Amino acid sequence: MSERDADGDDWSLPEDLEAVQNALIDWYEGDHRDFPWRRTDDPYAILVSEVMSQQTQLDRVVDAWEEFLERWPSTADLAAADRADVVGFWTSHSLGYNNRAKYLHESATQIEGEYDGTFPETPDELQELMGVGPYTANAVASFAFNEGDAVVDTNVKRVTYRAFSIPDDDSAFEDAANDLMPEGESRVWNNAIMELGGVACTQTPRCDEVGCPWREWCDAYASGDFTAPDVPTQPAFEGSRRQFRGRVIGTLREYDELELDTLGHRIRVDYAPEGEYGREWLTGLLEDLESDGLVALERTETNAELVARLRR
């Protein structure tokens, strides 16, 4: 699959796109941060979480979100509230700009007065609510109704820039994010890719530490260059173990399978079979990758030479 950005530069996503999608969803469903709004499909509760989360750390939002919904559990309750009380709550919980509280109150009033208490379900319809922009509308449509497009936030841009070399261009990021998302899976997919950017592909990446599911396909993991639109300088890890893990993955992506010494010479210029960075060092590296499910090791029948190949 290939696209072209506004400047005419080519970019592409992996051909085995279904494997990429399944790997991320399986990773997310296996373990993720348990925020309470991820356990509901109530559009009102999700809208409150999205508005509160704007420029506020998620861990700080949890208590405020729970208290807000306990005090005003529905759009009807919020619409009937005194706006000054809503703004006062916002201020007392240090949730940022008070206009957000005013807009949230106005949105509840619109839903009760113009929509008979029923939430609109599509991104376009949701943008008719006061203070609800394209990002928030799409998030609510995704997480409440599974009717959204791909979310494109800073985390998603960082992930796609690093993993698939998507150029730093808003239209390219949007196209790539939507091409990546499985059809009809906006709820789980948008949660999953934002989680990937939030815990694994952070500004300082934690690829191996959290078992990033895209290491097999990731250009940054293969090259060791983890710059991104919001990461202007490359983290210093020249010569690190993570760098050589990435080189192994990148090399096996190109050659499919290689014998131990051939692989060693391809990933570092100072490889010497009996030296400090030789067979013992490389075998340990490959065994780690095998434990992570990224590489398969086997012996040739003729001379029992160890062969490494990418696990697909």
Residue 308 pairs in a beta bridge with: 258, 297
- Answer whether 150's CB lies under 8 Å from 181's CB: yes
Residue whose C-alpha is closest to residue 3's, from 232, 185, 165:
165
50 is a catalytic site residue = yes
Q: Confirm if 111 and 117 have CB atoms less than 8 A apart.
A: yes
Nearest to 23 by CA among 293, 309, 310, 308: 293
Query: In which residue are the tokens 């348990």 written?
Result: 34
Catalytic residue among 3, 15, 50, 274: 50
Residues recognised as catalytic: 50
